[in-house]
Structure 1
Amino acid sequence: MTSRVEHTDVGAYALGLLETDDRVAFEAHLLICPSCRDELADLAGVASVLHGIGRVEEPDPPSPEGQDDVIDLLRRRKAADRRTRRGTFVIGMAAAVTLVAGGLTIGTQLDADGTPQVAQDHSSHMGPAEQFYVEGKPIEGKGAAGVTGGLVVESKGWGTHAALRLAGVQGPLECELISVARSGERRVMTGWSVPPAGYGVPGSPDPLYMHGGSATPLQDIDHFEVVTSAGEKLLTVEL
């Protein structure tokens, strides 16, 4: 990454796989890229989950003078292939565990030499869905007994984007957020599992925040529903 900073380097950075120059360049990139900061927050637990995956060893030293240069070239290509495969594996695994919420806020501070460093605050981070909900204008829904929640919605070129807040739900359950068009067409926007501890209940007071998307334009939607896999309606949000 020495020539330029890539957004996909956030996974390698979270795992400590970047060389010194690349790490410094990426930390400077974090100063101006909110999306990378959010993704890095979500990947906070990746290093421990993938413990034991380290840097690939450097290629063997060049062949002594007089040996066939072709052998040395093949060794270097083999080492480069190993690095490529390891990098692909690490980024894939990092993406696979992104759903393990990190729960930290990314800030910046400078060392004495002016090098930007990443500061972490595990107590105040809001994920993208929660931040969108808090900064928007929530529409309160009507819930089943004990269930509360609401939506923040916005129109997109591809359809409708929504952030859901849900509380008062005990698990285990499998749920979906559904958009219901004026025509009656129903589209699943997102789905999730509620663990036995639940959300927004005694012993597990934090509500659930989720993103969702529907191809139905916002102006064509009549209402939204949160339903269980058994067909029980937990929440209805009217527009």
Structure 2
Amino acid sequence: MTSQVEHTDVGAYALGILEEPDRTAFSNHLASCPSCTAELQELSGVAGALAGIGPLEDERDDADTGDRGPAEVVNLLRRRKAADRRARRGTFVIGAAAAVTLVAGGIAVGTSISGESGSAPVGHSAHGPAEDAYRSGTPLAGTGASGVTGGLVLETKGWGTHAALELRGVKGPLECELVAVSRSGERRVVTGWAVPERGYGVPGSPEPLYVHGGVAWGPAGIDRFEVRTTGGDTLLTVMV
């Protein structure tokens, strides 16, 4: 055999249709050829499935239904195995591309959420919406109970007034509400929240509290805003 013949005889060897001298030579060849050994393992299952089956039909020529000789069977096996390998390679490429996309997407999402880069992602703020709204406006300073300070930023909307509150100097546990009081004395709750025991804007917990909400009245119809506890105490009053 030539080396070319040896490499192309895997199918014939799997089907057991090589002449004895060629079969012996090919067996010796397998000991030193990993690629032929791997292909033989792939073809072994197909060869077993073909045992006892009559003539094979080439899928590419439905009109040809005649018997096939050993060479034609081997060629058909080779074409089908090559097609299988191409399909597997295509699936692998698609899967790899999807994996790269997911990994890249996961890195981007993780960076956006965690902010581990040390700065806010492009197009996003490092603060929450309440703090953003407060920082973007001109605060109205409030008058607070002992140690309590804060202010409000108001924004006129088509539906009423958006209010963003900064609050410092409160300790919990407390439940509080931001209440809008109209010029006629009507009261509306803008938003509510709970103050944990550690508090906000106090020693050991220096960060202030930021909350926001809305009321259906325009600024012209509002007299003041009050920060009140559910127990009825007023912690901060902001005149409009």
Contact 1:160–1:216 under 8 Å retained in 2: yes
Distance 1:20 1:217 in 2: 51
**Considering only aligned residues, what root-mean-square deviation do their CA atoms show, in Å?**
3.3
What are the equivalent positions in structure 2 for 1:101-116 lying under 5 Å apart? 106-108=120-122
CA 1:219–1:24: 2 relative to 1, 3 Å: farther
- State the 1:205 CA deviation: 0.5
Q: TM-score, normalised by structure 1?
A: 0.52
- State the 1:125 CA deviation: 2.0
Structure 1 partner of 2:45: none
Distance 1:227 1:191 in 2: 9
Distance 1:23 1:189 in 2: 42
3-state DSSP of counterpart to 2:202: coil
Distance 1:185 1:146 in 2: 28
CA 1:185–1:27: 2 relative to 1, 3 Å: farther
- State the 1:106 CA deviation: 3.6
3-state DSSP of counterpart to 2:228: strand
Residue type matched to 1:132 in 2?
Answer: A
Structure 1 partner of 2:216: 215
Structure 1 partner of 2:204: 203
1:139 to 2:140 alignment: yes
Structure 1 partner of 2:237: 236
- State the 1:20 CA deviation: 5.7
Distance 2:219 2:99 in 1: 46
3-state DSSP of counterpart to 2:236: strand
- State the 1:165 CA deviation: 0.2
- State the 1:228 CA deviation: 0.2
Residue type matched to 2:147 in 1?
Answer: G
Distance 1:127 1:238 in 2: 25
Residue type matched to 2:214 in 1?
Answer: G
Structure 2 partner of 1:171: 172
CA 1:21–1:190: 2 relative to 1, 3 Å: same
What fraction of aligned residue pairs are identical, expressed as a percent? Answer: 56
What are the equivalent positions in structure 2 for 1:41-60 lying under 5 Å apart? 41=113
Structure 2 partner of 1:91: none
3-state DSSP of counterpart to 1:235: strand
Contact 1:105–1:126 under 8 Å retained in 2: no
- State the 1:188 CA deviation: 0.5
- State the 1:218 CA deviation: 1.5
Aligned length: 141
Distance 1:133 1:196 in 2: 24
Residue type matched to 2:186 in 1?
Answer: E
- The structure with the larger Rg is 2
1:182 to 2:183 alignment: yes
- State the 1:191 CA deviation: 0.3
3-state DSSP of counterpart to 2:121: strand
Higher helix content, 1 or 2? 2
What are the equivalent positions in structure 2 for 1:31-42 lying under 5 Å apart? 41=113
Distance 2:230 2:209 in 1: 17
Distance 1:20 1:185 in 2: 59
Contact 1:226–1:234 under 8 Å retained in 2: yes
